[in-house]
Every structure is written in C-alpha cells, then in structure tokens.
Structure 1
Amino acid sequence: MSIYNNILVIANVNHDEQPALARAMLLAKKSKDISHITLFLSIYDFSYDMTSMLSADEREAMRRGVIHQRETWLKNVAKPYIDDTVDFTVKVVWYNRPYEAIIAEVFSGQYDILIKATRKHDFLESVIFTPTDWHLMRKCPVPVLLVKNAEWEKQSNVMASVHVGSENEIHHSLNVKLTEQLLSIADYLDATPYLVSSYPVTPSNITLELPEFDITAYRDAVRAHCLTSMKELRQSFGIDDEQTIVEEGLPEDIIPKQAKQLNVAMVIIGTTGRTGLSSIFIGNTAEHVIDKIDCDVLAIKPEGYISPLDPNQSS
C-alpha cells in the first residue's frame, strides 16, 4: 500500500534543524512512487500592518520582502535533508493564525499527511493559549504526525491505541482505520506492530451504593469483553496475539506506560476533533497523552470527519 505521497511539513522557524522534514524524507523514501514534499511556514509581524507612515502598497512590498527572505532561508536549511528522489517545494504565507494557515494549505494542496515537530506544553499555556499542535489534532482533516525524536531506530516497534470495549460504531470504524495505519507504518519501517487497549477501573465505592454488586465479577466480565473484541480485531488483520495488549486503567496512563515498555518509535492514536468548551474541560485522549510520551504521535480522525475549517462547508 503506497501512502503519504503528498506530504506537508511545517517548518521549525526557531532552528536550522528540521526533524519534521527528516521524518518526511524517511517516509518518502519508503514510497514506491515519487513523493511531493512541501515545506510550509506561516509568518506574521503585527508591526508591519500598524506602520501608519507607509502606504498599503509599501506595507505589501515589505511583507513580500520578508516572505522572500524566509523562502530563501527555508531552501537553505532544507538542503541537508532533500535529494532528487522527491519533488520538493517551499511555501511561505503571511497570516496571523498559524493553524488556520496550515489547515487552509492542507485543503488547497490535498495532502496525505501533515508532519510537524512538537515540544512539551506547560499547563498554563495549554489552558489559556491552545497550542497550534492541539488545534491541528482537533481540526486537521488528514493524519497529523507530531515528531519528537530526531531518528527512528531500525526495526522499531509501532503501537496503535484502540478502543475495543466500545459498542459505538464510530469507535469500531476508527479501530479499523487505526489498525490499517499501524500495519502500513510498520510495513514502511520494517517495524513490529502492536495493538494496545485499556478499559476503565471499576469504582470501588459502587458497593456502598449497591451492596449486592459483585465488583470482581463485573471487572472480569469487562476484561473478557475487551479481550474478545481485541481478538476479533487482531484476527481480522492477521496480527498475532503476542502483539496485542489489553490492560485496566485510563488510556492517558496506559498508552505512555506501554509506549515506554515496548520502546516504540510511534504511537498511533484516534482523536475525535472535539472543540469548544468540551475541549477545554474534557480534552481529547491524544492531547492528554502527547506530553507524557517521548516518541512520535500520529493522530488520526474518524472516517467522515469534517473539519470546522473546511472551506467547502457553508458557514
């Protein structure tokens, strides 16, 4: 299966090192077809728009000059990464909201994947100023690969977090999509794929409200259901039992734990694209996980997901 032939890479404006571009080249070299990589940067300087002594044409000329400088810089920093096996372009736009500019480019360029280097977000920043990474995970219509490590080791492990205990059809279809991505990535990287799922801990205080409730029997039943569902999923894709894990606990705890134990190069996770107040107070599992693990994260949307920034949707 040939995927990721049209790759959008978000430039790291603060450093010459471009780990996201390195990752894009690794994926491109694994493709059977010639891949196209676009190195993208959104820039904005408020002072250029507030210079009242300049005319609109003069301000526009200044913006074009800054864009040209950045394009030249991007081409130079890309040289150590790019070779003639890929079709490579650089694009710089002037826009004051980077995530909106990025997603607009995703739609206009019909990309297969978005790749961006990431960093740990501190708590206050994450609550008050939603990071670009979070916006992309919630609203980008294509898979988002957030890069943390500079290199992938050969014969790495790759892990997908699935929700096998749910009866929700959206979760079922997302599990299939995540597993397909897992096997494709594993094939790309000659990696070993693992499926990991968690189920919630039964509250111990439930026996206070329902004395007749058999908490052990209930926990065993939940685990048995998850194990059966995991077996059905893995067998449908020909995955060995040794490559599946079902564990009790919250996904934001189990995913980082298993990622470390399995020494994975990438965690593939589904994200619902929750926005608004629910995203602030509840959040998505992907957002809770990303700062707890040291490997790359590939965030996948459910089938049929429609981005709130889709230009084809009526306002």
Structure 2
Amino acid sequence: MSAYSNVLVVLDPAAEYQKALNRALQLARLQPCRLTVFLTVYDFSYEMTTMLSGTERESMRQAVISDREQWIKQLLTEANATDLDTHILVVWHNRPFEAIVHTAIEQNIDFIIKGTHDHDVLKSMIFTPTDWHILRKCPCPVLLIKEYEWPTRRNIIAAIHAGSEQEHHSALDQRIIAKALQMAKLLDAKVHLVNAFPGTPVNIAIEIPEFNAQEYSLSMKQHHIDAVAKLANQYDIPAAQCHVIEGMPEDIIPNIVNEYDALMVVIGTIGRTGFSAAIIGNTAEHVIDQLDCDVLAVKPADFVSPLQKS
C-alpha cells in the first residue's frame, strides 16, 4: 500500500518554475498515487464590474479558469507526466488557504505538497501567510518544499518531543516517526530522531539557593535520552541516529539539519489558531524559515480542522 495515495499539489500562479509540481511528479514516480494539480485564481475587478450581469461575470470567470486549466495541461505535457494519474482542479476563490483546506477535506486528500519561501518574521506573526493557515487548519500532512531537487541516500530529521508525560505528545511523536520512516523508505534515506529539551530555569537557581542546577540539568537530559531510546528501539532506529540536545527546537533543529545535510524535517504541529497563534506561533512555524530543506508538518490523529463543515 502506498504511503500517500491521494495527493494535492498546490501550484503558485505567480511562479515560472513550479517546484511543488516537480516534487509531486517525483513522488508519483516513486510510488503509485493520484495527483490533483490544484490552483486558485481570483480577480477582484471581475466581481466589481457592475456593467455586466451575473451570467456574464460567471462566463468571464469560467474563461479565466479554462485558460489556467490549459496552462496546467501544458505543464504536465512538458513534464512528460501523461503516464501518471493526474487530475486538474482550478478554483475561483479569494482566500487560497480556504480553498486548499476545503478541497483536502472534501476529496479525502492524504498529503499536500506546496512550495514555500522565506517570510518576514514580523509579518508572519501579524499577517499570517497562506502557508501558516494551511499548517494550522489542514488535517492531513503538509509538505512545504524549498528550491532544490529531492536527492536520495541522505538523512531525514524527525523532530520529536519525547519525555513529555502528556498523551497527545506521545501519540504525535509516533505519527512523526512513522511518516519519517515512510519517506525514508521511498528516498533510501536514514531517519534521525532529534529531541531538544529546555535548560534549567534561571529564576529557580536564583530564587532557591540550595537548588543544584547542574544535577537538575543532568537528570533532565537523562530523562529525555531514555525516552528517545525507548522510541528508537520501537522503530529499530540505531542509537547513533538519536540526538538529545539542550536548547530551543528552533535553534537545535536547523543545526542538526546542517550537520547531517538533511533533505527533510518531519515535525508535528498542533494547529494553534487565534490570538495565541498570532503572538506565540507554533514551534513548527519558528523552525520552518530557518531551514534549507523540505518540511513535512504532521497533525495529531484526532485533529479536526476549524474549517471542517459540521
């Protein structure tokens, strides 16, 4: 059975080179899957043309959609993708992320591939880009890709939160590792488990003189080492591919990616929304812009999208 059988490929209407499509075709040639090549289009001026009737405006929208469908057909022809199971879907929508998430839900998509780029940090926190909306609201795994080709025989980083006693963290770690191993099998890659853990709180050391910060730090590290080792044994991942490091994930993970020349990071995202997301953001979001590799974001199994129709 294929790791991913129903894939949604999100095109960039402004890009000349469609890296998401290129990556999706590479995936389809590695394993059988259905590719839905997806594009949202919208022109506000078409909605404001009062001189035209509703029927005429609809006709103009359909003309734009048909033109983009022909453009996608040409892309697929140029990519020699006629032998693959591809389907084209162009949607008129002024909020691309909503169209993407609704399509994923309605068509039972199990994997989304989308190109990404660097975001200005301040704007990412105040004006949430489409990428962040999809990460927070889409129930299926989302692969955000960078520029380069997908090499084989490299490393995949599974960013886990072992050591937590909370059940949802443990379950999400299992999903992260499973997805990482699926991709590793396709790409003949090795999976490395990376677990960052927080250092000793400075205020405790100051407020409680008898507090032994060094002993606390060693105890905390051993706790996480044991938790990671337990997960590694469960999935037959060698100890040499397990990394437990004190620090923040947004600092530790990019360093490991660079050290091991990783082609992908698999990370969990809980889908925080609203004010807390705008101010704090998810760990995944803090990490993504720091990386020069693909990022596969995985949701908890029981995640329900806020866009899910009741």
Same-fold status (TM-score > 0.5): yes
8 Å Cα contact 2:125/2:281 also seen in 1: no
Q: Secondary structure at the match of 1:206?
A: helix
SS at match of 1:7: strand
Residue 285 of structure 2 corresponds to which residue in structure 1? 287
Contact 1:265 1:296 in 2 (8 A): yes
Is the partner of 2:277 in helix, strand or coil?
helix
Bigger CA drift: 221-230 or 10-19? 10-19
Measure how far apart 1:85 and its partner are: 3.9
**Stretches of 4+ moved more than 3 A in 1?**
none
Instruction: Give the C-alpha shift of residue 149 in structure 1.
Output: 2.9
- The 5 A counterparts of 1:148-297 are 148-297=146-295
Please state whether the residue corresponding to 2:4 is helix, strand or coil: coil
**Where does the alignment leave 5 or more consecutive residues of structure 2 unmatched?**
none
Looking at structure 1, the residues matched to 62 and 142 of structure 2 have their Cα atoms a distance apart, in angstroms, of 29
1:125 equivalent in alignment to 2:116: no
Question: Aligned to 2:144, what secondary structure does the other structure show?
Answer: strand
Task: Report the alpha carbon displacement of residue 153 of structure 1 after superposing the two structures with TM.
Answer: 2.0
TM-score (norm 1): 0.96
What are the residue-to-residue correspondences of 1:56-67 with 2, within 5 Å?
56-67=54-65
Higher mean alpha-carbon deviation, 134-143 vs 15-24, is at: 15-24
Q: Which residue of 2 aligns with 1:10?
A: 10
1:226 and 1:246 in contact (8 A); partners too: yes
Q: Distance in 2 between matches of 1:292 and 1:165?
A: 25
What CA deviation, in whole Å up to 9, does each residue of 1:32-59 have, x standing for no partner?
xx32111101111111000111111111
| Superposition CA RMSD, Å | 1.2
Cα shift at 1:135:
0.4
CA shift in 2, pair 1:124/1:204, >3 Å: closer
Contact 1:5 1:28 in 2 (8 A): no
| Residues 177-224 of structure 1, C-alpha deviations (whole Å, 9 max, x = no match) | 111111111001001111100100112342220001010110011000
Determine if contact 2:76/2:82 at 8 Å carries over to the other structure.
Answer: no
* Selected match of 2:302 from 273, 285, 304: 304
> Given that residues 200 and 250 in structure 1 are in contact (C-alpha distance below 8 angstroms), is that contact kept between their aligned partners in structure 2?
yes
1:65 deviates by: 0.6
Q: Contact 2:153–2:189 (CA<8 Å) still a contact in 1?
A: yes
Give the Cα separation in 2 of the matches to 1:204 and 1:104: 45
SS at match of 2:78: coil
8 A contact 1:3–1:112 mirrored in 2: no
Q: How many residues align?
A: 310
> Could you list the runs of 5+ residues in structure 1 that have no partner in the other structure?
none
Distance of 2:80 and 2:283 partners within structure 1: 34
1:154: how far off? 2.5
SS of 2:202's partner is coil
Letter in 1 for 2:20: A
Q: Could you tell me how far apart the structure 2 residues matched to 1:262 and 1:15 are?
A: 30
Is residue 139 from structure 1 mapped to residue 150 from structure 2 by the alignment?
Answer: no
2:108 counterpart residue number: 110
Structure 1 residue 282: deviation in Å? 1.2
| Percent of matched pairs sharing the same residue | 46
CA contact (8 A) 1:4 1:28 kept: no
**TM-score, length-scaled by structure 2:** 0.97
Q: Is the 8 A contact 1:82 1:88 kept in 2?
A: no
AA aligned opposite 2:70:
T
CA shift digits 1:259-309 (9 cap, x unpaired): 111110000000000000110111101100110001000000011111101
Contact 1:30 1:188 in 2 (8 A): yes
Q: 1:95 aligns with which of 82, 93, 96?
A: 93
Task: For 2:80 and 2:277, locate their aligned partners in 1 and report how far apart those are by CA, in whole Å.
Answer: 38
Which residue pairs with 2:27 in the alignment?
27
Amino acid at match of 1:165: G
Residue identity in the other structure for 2:29: K
Counterpart contact for 2:224–2:244, Cα < 8 Å: yes
Measure the CA separation in 2 of the matches of 1:178 and 1:172. 10
Query: Matches of 2:56 and 2:266 in 1, distance apart?
Result: 47
